[in-house]
Structure 1
Amino acid sequence: MKETTYQAKLLLQVHDELIFEVPKSEVDSFSEFVEEIMENALQLDVPLKVDSSYGATWYDAK
């Protein structure tokens, strides 16, 4: 992320979840960016599938 222009901040990692604070104007492109990075982090024999969601609160994001 340091090599991008995104203003997002990683707030928390909980097991297999990453919680970011992201400006509204960046939510869609940042979500695609993170999904792409996470799905291709390792070359495995099985695919890694990543879901993302967002909301004003953690409850809203589910």
Structure 2
Amino acid sequence: NTVIQGSAADLIKLAMIRVDQKLKKTKHPGRMLLQIHDELVFETPKNRVTDLIKLVREEMEHALQLDVPLKVDVAVGDDWLNTTSPEELETPVSRQGLLFGDE
């Protein structure tokens, strides 16, 4: 289990570096707030949520070349209690906040 957890820790660090670099390169106003285990929490203006989802998914899913695909789950909301997947939203995603991780 140590090897798996250590590898996951390395993977999330690589993903964080890639996301941070891409946010700076594209001058995206979103920002990474914190990491909790294998989850990342972001904040962005509500009108930029959709493009932040695309950016973060792309960078996280390709942080390391593996033989198996990495799947990134997304939860969106204005607070920790009231999050949902972007696909389940009745309100357009551009009107929500943002959280990422593998829930």
Match among 19, 29, 39 for residue 51 of structure 2: 29
Tell me, in whole angstroms, the C-alpha distance in 1 between the residues paired with 2:81 and 2:39: 14
TM-score normalised by structure 1 residue count = 0.90
Moved over 6 A (4+): none
Identical pairs, percent: 50
Q: Number of matched residues?
A: 62
Tell me, in whole angstroms, the C-alpha distance in 2 between the residues paired with 1:54 and 1:16: 17
Name 2:24's counterpart in structure 1. 2
Higher helix share: 2
User: Which amino acid is the alignment partner of residue 58 of structure 2?
Assistant: E
The answer for unaligned runs of 5 or more in structure 1 is: none
Q: Please provide the CA RMSD for this pair.
A: 1.0
* More relative contact order, 1 or 2 (CA 8 Å, 6+ apart): 2
TM-score normalised by structure 2 residue count = 0.57
The answer for unaligned runs of 5 or more in structure 2 is: 1-22, 85-103
